[in-house]
């Protein structure tokens, strides 16, 4: 008897466009959620958009509560859970970058509350995913979390955010190329479950973004539109896979390790982009497609070298040789790179 089953949890409303932040209330009303909204954000997103969202709910007689977090950590999740219980929240809105959205979806999952994602930056593909990514000591957890019931992505807000946040989002998408390669490798070598649909969607998303690279320009609101659609699509791939595998391979392990060891870590997307240049080299060799990855990143103005990331050469090599320890996820890094091989990969690709 055929006994397999699968649950794919996707948002019901994805609202993208100029000024749609002011439709957050409508997007929520349409979901028939009950009770008091809790708006979770971090400092800048709170000022940029969080207060406007709170005002909308206040004007509609909802009695909204709000909380501002400043880090992505399990402690922050616990603080938000405690606050939500104190104010007797009925549902939650995460307003911000990856940090605020991850914390909100994890707290909502714990409390069994509905969650609405309101990105203020097109900087990461966790906008739609049902995954949370949080460091703890020497490891980085990718945990199941509440996927959003709705996403409200205002391209006016996204376009006004610093441009580097948008290039970080592009790089997070471009890194899907190597993430899918790692996933396929793990499937072949370790029998890790693989979804053809999620793999194909993730790869197609990266290809479409690269094909649109010439339309992604600073000062053009249309760029935010292109990037946010790609971020949504990549998040959907993660939801189909019920794993971050379609969008997170060795290049993400490299970035998570940089977050631990670099004195001043860069943006998530920028780090995974530089990681992807080197892991593409590891997959396909000196004549392989690592130049295409580098050129695609360069075309949208994302960093392609350690210097541009603001880290020194030794840190790159240390992150490469220890990245496999971040979590139990088989990738092209295998059971770890030797220092010589890491120096070679970083040098040939021009990262150092
Ligand atoms: N769950 C998932 O599937 C995924 C999760 N992630 C996670 O997301 C995080 C990375 O996301 P990222 O957005 O780069 O990180 P942050 O949320 O830290 O945002 C980056 C910076 O941008 C600022 N910011 C956000 N919006 C605006 C705006 N409109 N104007 C000005 N500044 C703004 C933030 O301000 P402030 O400092 O005030 O917050 C912060 O300084 C990582 O923790 C990563 O692991 C990434 C991809 C997928
Ligand atoms: O950043 C992600 C996808 O872009 C997912 O994060 P993890 O590497 O923590 O699973
Ligand atoms: Zn990522």
DSSP class per residue in 86-153: HTTEEEEEEEESHHHHHHHHHHHHHHT-EEEEEESSS--TTSS-SEEEEEETTEEEEEE-PPPSEEEE
Could you say which ligand is closest to the alpha carbon of residue 323? 2
* Cα 160 to ligand 2 centre (Å): 25
- CATH 3.40.50.1970 positions along the chain are 13-161
Provide the pLDDT for residue 259: 95
Q: Select from 128, 126, 99, 124 the least CA-distant residue to 116.
A: 128
Mean pLDDT of the chain: 96
Beta-ladder partners of 118: 95
Atom 1 of ligand 2 has which residue's CA nearest to it?
Answer: 248
Percentage with pLDDT > 90 across the chain = 94
Q: Would you say residue 3 has pLDDT above 90?
A: no
Provide the pLDDT for residue 82: 98
Atom 10 of ligand 1 has which residue's CA nearest to it?
Answer: 98
Q: Alpha-carbon distance 307 to 312, whole Å?
A: 7
Provide the pLDDT for residue 209: 95
Q: Span 110-136, mean pLDDT?
A: 95
Q: Would you say residue 298 has pLDDT above 80?
A: yes
**CATH 1.20.120.790 applies to domain 164-348:** no
Confidence of residue 5 (pLDDT cuts 50, 70, 90): confident
* Per-residue DSSP letter, 73: S
Tell me, which fold does domain 13-161 have in CATH? Rossmann fold (3.40.50)
Provide the pLDDT for residue 238: 96
* Cα 168 to ligand 1 centre (Å): 10
Confidence of residue 308 (pLDDT cuts 50, 70, 90): very high
- Cβ atoms of 153 and 164 within 8 Å: the answer is no
Percentage with pLDDT > 70 across the chain = 100
ipTM of the complex: 0.98
Q: Span 188-217, mean pLDDT?
A: 96
Is 99 assigned to a binding site?
A: yes
* Per-residue DSSP letter, 327: S
- CATH 1.20.1090.10 positions along the chain are 164-348
Provide the pLDDT for residue 2: 79
Our mutation pick for probing the ligand 2 site, out of 101, 119, 126, 260, counting the most ligand atoms within 8 A of Cβ, is 126
């Amino acid at each position: 008897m055929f006994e397999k089953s699968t649950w794919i949890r996707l948002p019901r409303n994805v609202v993208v466009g100029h000024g749609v932040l002011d439709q957050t209330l409508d997007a929520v009303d349409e979901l028939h959620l009950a009770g008091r909204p809790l708006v979770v954000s971090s400092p800048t997103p709170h000022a940029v958009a969080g207060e406007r969202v709170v005002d909308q709910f206040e004007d509609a007689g909802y009695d909204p509560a709000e909380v501002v977090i400043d880090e992505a950590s399990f402690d922050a999740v616990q603080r938000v859970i405690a606050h939500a219980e104190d104010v007797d929240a009925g549902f939650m809105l995460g307003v911000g970058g990856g940090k605020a959205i991850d914390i909100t979806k994890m707290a909502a999952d714990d409390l069994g509350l509905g969650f609405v994602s309101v990105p203020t930056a097109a900087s990461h593909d966790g906008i739609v995913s049902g995954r949370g990514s949080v460091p703890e000591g020497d490891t980085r957890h990718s945990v199941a979390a509440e996927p959003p019931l709705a996403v409200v992505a205002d391209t006016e807000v996204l376009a006004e955010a610093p441009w580097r946040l948008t290039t970080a989002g592009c790089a997070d998408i471009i890194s899907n190329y190597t993430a899918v390669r790692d996933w396929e490798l793990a499937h072949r070598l370790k029998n890790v479950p693989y979804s053809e649909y999620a793999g194909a969607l993730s790869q197609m998303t990266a290809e479409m973004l690269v094909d649109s690279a010439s339309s992604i320009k600073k000062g053009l609101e249309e760029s935010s539109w292109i990037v946010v659609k790609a971020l949504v699509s990549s998040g959907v791939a993660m939801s189909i896979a019920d794993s971050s595998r379609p969008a997170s391979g060795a290049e993400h392990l490299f970035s998570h390790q940089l977050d631990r060891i670099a004195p001043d870590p860069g943006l998530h997307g920028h780090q995974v982009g530089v990681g992807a240049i080197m892991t593409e080299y590891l997959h396909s060799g000196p004549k392989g497609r690592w130049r295409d990855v580098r050129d695609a990143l360069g075309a949208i103005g994302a960093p392609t070298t350690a210097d541009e990331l603001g880290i020194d050469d030794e840190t790159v090599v240390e992150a490469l040789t220890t990245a496999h320890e971040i979590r139990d996820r088989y990738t092209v890094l295998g059971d770890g790179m030797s220092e010589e091989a890491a120096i070679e990969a970083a040098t040939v690709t021009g990262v150092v």
